[in-house]
A and B are shown apart, each in its own frame.
Chain A
Amino acid sequence: MTFISSGYNPDKPMENRITDIGPRHYSEFLPPIIAKNKGKWLWHEIIEPGILMHKAESGDEVYTVRFGGARLMSTGLINELCDIADKYCGGHLRFTTRNNIELMVETLDEAKKLKEFLNSQKFKGGSHKFPVGGTGAGITNVVHTQGWIHCHTPATDASGTVKVVLDELFEDYKKMRMPAQIRISMACCLNMCGAVHCSDIAILGYHRKPPIIDHEWLDNLCEIPLAVAACPTGAIRPAKKEITTEAGETKTVNTVAVRQERCMFCGNCYTMCPSMPLADQTGDGLVIMAGGKVSNRISNPKFSKVVVAFIPNEPPRWPTLAKVIRQIVEAYASGARKYERLGDWAERIGWERFFEKTGLEFSEHMIDDFRDPAYYTWRQTTNFKF
Chain B
Amino acid sequence: MAKHATPLLDQLESGPWPSFVADIKEEADRRRKNEKNVTYQIPSDVCDDLLGVLELSYTDGTTHWKHGGIVGVFGYGGGVIGRYCDQPQMFPGVAHFHTMRVNQPAGKYYKTDYLRQLCDIWDMRGSGLTNMHGATGDIVLLGTTTPQLEEIFFELTHNMNTDLGGSGSNLRTPAACLGESRCEWACYDTQEMSYQLTMEYQDELHRPAFPYKFKFKFDGCPNCCVASIARSDMAFIGTWKDNIGIDQEAVAAYIGGELKPNGGAHADKDWGAFDIQKEVIDLCPTECMWIEDGKLKINDRECTRCMHCINVMPRALRIGNDRGLSILVGAKAPILDGAQMGSLLVPFIKAEEPYDEIKEVIESIWDWWMEEGKNRERLGELIKRQGLAKCIEVVGLKPVPQHVLEPRHNPYIFWKEEDVTGGWQRDIAEFRKHHQR
Contact = CB atoms under 8 A, between A and B. Distances in A.
| Contact, chains A and B (beta carbon distance below 8 A) | yes
Interface of A: 1-8, 10, 13-14, 16-26, 28-31, 34, 38-39, 41-49, 54, 62, 64, 68-79, 81-82, 85-86, 91-97, 99, 101, 123-131, 135-138, 143-145, 148-154, 157, 159-160, 163-164, 166-167, 170, 173, 175-178, 181, 187, 190-198, 229, 232-233, 266, 270-271, 274, 279-282, 284, 292, 294-299, 301, 303, 313, 315-317, 338-339, 370-373
Contacts of A69: 18, 132
Interface stretch (B182-190, B293-301, B347-355): B182-190
Interface centre among B8, B161, B175 (most CB of A within 10 A): B161
Interface string B372-393: 0001000000000000000000
A124 B22 contact: yes
Interface of A is mostly: loop
Nearest to A273: B67
A192 to B, nearest CB: 4
Contacts of A18: 157-158
A22 B202 contact: yes
Contacts of A190: 334-335
A362 to B, nearest CB: 21
A196 B184 CA distance: 27
A176 to B, nearest CB: 5
Most chain B beta-carbon neighbours within 10 Å: one of A74, A127, A150, A153: A74
Interface in B54-109: 54, 57-58, 60-67, 74-76, 83, 97, 99, 103-109
A79 B154 contact: no
A77 B23 contact: yes
Contacts of B66: 152, 274
A93 B115 CA distance: 10
A30 B119 contact: no
Contact of A97 (B10, B11, B175): B175
B333 A167 contact: no
Contacts of B135: 143-145, 193-195
A61 to B, nearest CB: 12
Given A92-B111, A126-B14, A74 B26 contact: yes
A26 B154 contact: no
Nearest to A183: B227
Nearest to A45: B263
Contacts of B151: 5-6, 8
Given A152-B65, A232-B335, 19 more contacts: A29-B110, A38-B180, A72-B130, A73-B130, A74-B26, A75-B129, A76-B26, A92-B110, A93-B109, A127-B15, A129-B18, A138-B268, A170-B17, A192-B334, A197-B339, A274-B67, A297-B222, A316-B12, A338-B271
Contact of A137 (B162, B223, B266): B266
A78 B130 CA distance: 9
Given A123-B26, A295-B224, A339-B312, A315 B107 contact: no
B48 interface: no
B152 interface: yes
Interface stretch (B120-128, B396-404, B429-437): B120-128
B65 A150 contact: yes
B23 A73 contact: yes
B163 A23 contact: yes
Interface residues of B, number: 142
Contact of B263 (A44, A279, A284): A44
A26 B109 CA distance: 7
Contacts of B154: 6-8
A191 B27 CA distance: 31
A299 B183 CA distance: 22
Contacts of A298: 283, 285, 306, 308
Contacts of B10: 125
Contacts of A150: 65, 83, 97, 99, 142-143
B227 A198 contact: yes
A75 B339 contact: no
Contacts of A81: 115
13 contacts: A69-B18, A97-B225, A127-B14, A150-B97, A153-B67, A157-B57, A163-B20, A170-B15, A194-B135, A197-B333, A279-B63, A294-B229, A303-B341
A38 B189 CA distance: 9
Nearest to A84: B112
Nearest to A123: B22
A76 B36 CA distance: 12
B87 to A, nearest CB: 13
Interface stretch (B191-199, B363-371, B417-425): B191-199
* Shortest beta-carbon contacts, A-B, top 3: A125-B13, A136-B265, A281-B61
B337 interface: yes
B271 to A, nearest CB: 5
B113 A91 contact: yes
A176 B47 CA distance: 37
B328 to A, nearest CB: 10
Given A166-B17, A316-B58, A371-B338, A73 B132 contact: yes
Interface in B202-233: 202-203, 205-206, 222-231
Contact of A176 (B16, B63, B265, B306): B265
Contact of A20 (B67, B74, B132, B163): B163
Contacts of B312: 339
A266 B335 CA distance: 8
Nearest to B138: A23
B322 interface: no
Given A96-B108, A129-B18, A197-B333, A296 B307 contact: yes
A281 B225 CA distance: 36
A270 B230 contact: no
Contacts of A48: 267
Taking each of B39, B155, B182, B266, which has the highest tally of chain A beta carbons within 10 Å of its own beta carbon? B182
B264 A136 contact: yes
Contact of B226 (A72, A97, A137): A97
A43 B9 CA distance: 44
Given A29-B114, A92-B110, A160 B12 contact: yes
B277 interface: no
Nearest to A30: B109
B3 interface: no
A176 B18 contact: no
Contacts of B158: 6-7, 16, 18
A73 B341 CA distance: 31
A280 B61 CA distance: 7
